[in-house]
Structure 1
Amino acid sequence: MCDTLPPRPMTFESRRPDGPSSARRAIAVLSMHASPVGRLGQGENGGMNLTIRELCAGLSARGVPTDVFVRRDDPRAPAEELLAPGSRLVRLDAGPPEPVPKSRLLAELPLFTRALLAHVESERRAYRLVHSHYWLSGWVARRAVLRWGVPWVHSFHTLARMKSAAGMPDEPLRGEAEEVIAHAVARLVAMSPAEERALVDLYGVDPETVCVVPPGVDMEQYAPRPTGSVRTRLGLLDRRVVVYAGRLERLKGADLFVDAIAELLARPGYDDVVALVCGGDSGDGRRQARHAGGERGRLEELVTERGLGDRVRFLGAVAPRRLAELYALADVCVVPSHTESFGLVALEAQASGTPVVAAAVGGLVDVVEDGVTGFLLEGRDPAAFAERIGEVLADPARRERMGAAARERAGRYTWDRSVERLVALYDCVEFPETAALESCGCL
């Protein structure tokens, strides 16, 4: 599958800033499986969908148009829709028009590629460059850039070899494809220093080709607020609350969350604690669970086995507005992932003024400041997680200090800064003869 890709990007004729303007030429954004309008927390939808949506909105505000190409997964959805002024979503027919787990999309790549090339040719569109997201879209992009003769930027979002190093192996083909993509693009976008290190150490990438562009957070949407009405609605007025948020799949480690809550509730002084699980099964989560009820069914069974009853409540997929309310009412948010390229849940919780107890993996070590905005834990010992969760719950004054520090730290990550960095990177890639790498902010 990967042997036809040249080892380095093909050459292209750069358009100088003082020559024919490229300002009106759109960026082709390839995101086969992750639509920027997908419902967050449901199915495969998550941080990647949100990131693409916010970046395209920010690019639009700066006069940089984008065409976002996704696979149609709903027969009722329009072929095109406007995301923002100058930002267009295009749905291409490739395989059944229904949600399909990422692991089953490999067979649809040729169809998606042909649909993309045919659509662009029919419109006679000319793009500034291609920015692909996730390895599946990278597979498509390598053929598109050969046809169009434009530079190529790629974001992986997650890496197979990072997952394997965390004990969650993916199919070998994915890692091989990622390596070929990583060595073929003009520039790679990493979400965190941890992902940058993984690209260098696990894929042999030249560090000078990697630019770290972390996601941002909406500090107005995710903010401390009065929570009395929400607590009343959920029956949590006199309860301390621990929150888990994320897709329900093995990689996210919700089973460790359940075990940690069981450890915590077995200790004296925590009779009033309730744990909320926010998120629904992903397609791959259902497959990996090997349980008739999917990953949620497996976790609910675990809750029963641990004798937790209604002390752990499953809320299903939660809309961002409601999730912001839940972060704000929580006393602590737990992020027990096996690996994370960044850790958007931790960032959103911290913006809400909520301390985070997280696994010391991937980008979480950059987002959470251990002992200041929460705690980072090596290993996957439920008792150790319970201990740190208990420390936050048992000391309201410390929890307030940590919450204030968490919000201050989250304020360093804004979508405006992310977009500004991305625009600089695009200019560096498009006009390499006039832009030094330092001006991209990549060094």
Structure 2
Amino acid sequence: MNIVIITHNYIRRRGDLTALYLHRLSAGLVARGMTVTVVCPHAPGLAREETIDGVGIIRFAYPLSEKKPIAYGGGMHQEVAGSWWGKVVFAGFLRSFHRAADEVCRRIQPDLIWANWWIPPGLVAARIAARRNIPLVVSSHGTDISLLEKKGLTKILSRYVYRRTDRATVVSSFLKDRLLRHVDSIAADRVAVIPMPIGMETFPRTAPPHNDPPVLLSVARFTRQKRLDDIIAAAAKLAGEGLWFRVVMVGEGPLESELKALVDREHLGDRFEFVPLVAQQKLGELYRQSDIVVLSSEGEGFGLVLVEAGLTGRPVIGARSGGIVDIIEDEVNGLLYPPGDVDALAGCLWKLFSDPALRDRLGAAGHARAMERFATPVLIDRVRELFISVASPRKGTA
């Protein structure tokens, strides 16, 4: 089976973390006998064509791609919306993207096109798939789903894409609900929930450390949506009750100074450690050195941190919100609390800080669930089965 992946985000070299989960899926499909070709933007210093782990990568140039690249920066949507100049550059980007992807599909004649993110890749792929009668799967990973809430041109474009989509995938039930709420051109039975794969070799299970005092780990961007101030407030309550513990906060973002100031105001400086974003290998070490992992976000698209923690065998606490509820079953493989409820979060922390046996039980259950539902081989097989089911009927009627 021959697959063409159309995406604006893909690894640029070995070891790159950019959309690494997409490369893991692509390489896994190749290992299972499929041929995979990726069409993605060029960037300064990259080869125009290369093969990594059996995946063919074709990178297209676009106007000003050498002087003012808009791909791989993580802020394409904001840059386009923020200025007329951004819109002009984006128009040239789209034309070049379509031309390159269409030429690859003309030459390869794939059995299926897989667009990752509905815009811009889905927009490019929908036109090609319709014109060349190629089955189309469109996958969304979170950021592009939020764009569906906008009206006007965005609403028109999303209907255009999903009307031409054979199957869509999202990474959580929460995102599926949001997609169906804002797009009326695709039915619920055509949307599958398939989480993103994780590098299991980076997060091996180890014995619980049973630190004294216990260590709580948070891994998140320092933004409002992550509600990290709730963790600090809950820690202040527990410290006031005489409980001793440490908190490691890994991340970066616009609220870093504000969060550090809040820690100082609550006189928690001797309990908190702030760590900048680190490489995956170092992050795995931090999970293994912790006793509990918490994700306090509201409206989290998936909750990758919780799966990584589960793989290492660490118990987790999460806000009952967004994709987190796909990962945590309360009192089975972790604890849930209402988002923003500091007292409830403090109660969950107290429960796990004071009961090592409960931590061990929840951590073991979390590992079992992560291996059963989120292990990379499991997800690769699910994607492969989906692609075969989508492409086979079309081939049978060709």
TM-score, length basis structure 1: 0.75
Q: Is the 8 A contact 1:332 1:354 kept in 2?
A: yes
Partner of residue 171, structure 2? 191
Aligned counterpart for 1:126 among listed residues 100, 109, 124: 109
1:203 has 2:203 as partner: no
1:406 has 2:375 as partner: no
Aligned 1:110-259 pairs, distance under 5 A: 110-120=91-101, 124-136=107-119, 137-158=121-142, 174=154, 177-204=157-184, 205-225=186-206, 238-259=212-233
CA distance in 1 between counterparts of 2:218 and 2:47 reads 34
Q: Is the 8 A contact 1:70 1:92 kept in 2?
A: no
Q: Is the 8 A contact 1:350 1:403 kept in 2?
A: yes
Q: Is the 8 A contact 1:248 1:254 kept in 2?
A: yes
Partner of residue 356, structure 1? 316
Counterparts in 2 of 1:133 and 1:373: CA distance versus 1, 3 Å: same
Q: Is the 8 A contact 2:117 2:144 kept in 1?
A: no
**SS across alignment from 2:202:** coil
CA distance in 1 between counterparts of 2:30 and 2:74 reads 30
**Number of residue equivalences:** 378
1:314 has 2:314 as partner: no
Aligned counterpart for 2:331 among listed residues 371, 389, 396: 371
Deviation string 1:372-425 (CA, Å, 9 cap, x unpaired) is 211111231222212212211111111111111111111112222212121122
Aligned counterpart for 1:395 among listed residues 355, 373, 391: 355
Counterparts in 2 of 1:160 and 1:427: CA distance versus 1, 3 Å: closer
Aligned 1:431-442 pairs, distance under 5 A: 431-432=392-393
Shift of 1:56: 0.7
* Aligned-residue RMSD, C-alpha: 3.1
CA distance in 2 between counterparts of 1:250 and 1:175 reads 26
Partner of residue 55, structure 1? 25
CA distance in 1 between counterparts of 2:371 and 2:395 reads 33
Q: Is the 8 A contact 1:135 1:177 kept in 2?
A: no
CA distance in 1 between counterparts of 2:348 and 2:123 reads 42
**SS across alignment from 2:393:** coil
Partner of residue 84, structure 2? none
Q: Is the 8 A contact 1:163 1:339 kept in 2?
A: no
Letter in 2 for 1:127: P
Q: Which has the higher contact order (CA 8 A, sep 6+)?
A: 1
Q: Is the 8 A contact 2:118 2:144 kept in 1?
A: no
Letter in 2 for 1:261: A
Aligned counterpart for 1:425 among listed residues 381, 386, 396: 386
CA distance in 2 between counterparts of 1:345 and 1:115 reads 36
TM-score, length basis structure 2: 0.83
**SS across alignment from 2:331:** coil
Partner of residue 59, structure 2? 90
Counterparts in 2 of 1:133 and 1:376: CA distance versus 1, 3 Å: same
Partner of residue 8, structure 2? 32
Q: Is the 8 A contact 1:160 1:174 kept in 2?
A: no
Single out whichever of 343-352 and 183-192 deviates more from structure 2. Answer: 183-192
Counterparts in 2 of 1:306 and 1:173: CA distance versus 1, 3 Å: farther
1:274 has 2:246 as partner: yes
Shift of 1:358: 0.5
Deviation string 1:293-336 (CA, Å, 9 cap, x unpaired) is x3333333333343332532222121111111111121111111
CA distance in 2 between counterparts of 1:132 and 1:35 reads 15
CA distance in 1 between counterparts of 2:187 and 2:138 reads 14
Q: Is the 8 A contact 1:57 1:87 kept in 2?
A: no
Q: Is the 8 A contact 1:227 1:325 kept in 2?
A: no
Partner of residue 83, structure 2? none
Counterparts in 2 of 1:433 and 1:149: CA distance versus 1, 3 Å: closer
Q: Is the 8 A contact 1:355 1:373 kept in 2?
A: yes
Q: Is the 8 A contact 2:170 2:194 kept in 1?
A: yes
Single out whichever of 414-423 and 53-62 deviates more from structure 2. Answer: 414-423
Letter in 2 for 1:67: T
1:70 has 2:28 as partner: no
CA distance in 2 between counterparts of 1:214 and 1:375 reads 21
**SS across alignment from 1:309:** coil
Letter in 1 for 2:376: W
Shift of 1:158: 1.4
CA distance in 2 between counterparts of 1:39 and 1:253 reads 28
Question: What are the ranges of 5 or more consecutive residues in structure 1 without an aligned counterpart?
Answer: 1-22, 232-236, 282-293, 436-443
**SS across alignment from 1:409:** helix
Identity over aligned residues, as a percent?
27
Shift of 1:161: 6.8
Shift of 1:250: 3.0
Q: Is the 8 A contact 2:49 2:56 kept in 1?
A: no
CA distance in 2 between counterparts of 1:426 and 1:159 reads 23
Letter in 1 for 2:339: G
Question: What are the ranges of 5 or more consecutive residues in structure 2 without an aligned counterpart?
Answer: 81-86
Letter in 2 for 1:268: G
CA distance in 2 between counterparts of 1:111 and 1:218 reads 35
CA distance in 2 between counterparts of 1:130 and 1:197 reads 24
Letter in 2 for 1:30: I
Aligned counterpart for 1:265 among listed residues 227, 239, 243: 239
Q: Is the 8 A contact 2:206 2:313 kept in 1?
A: no
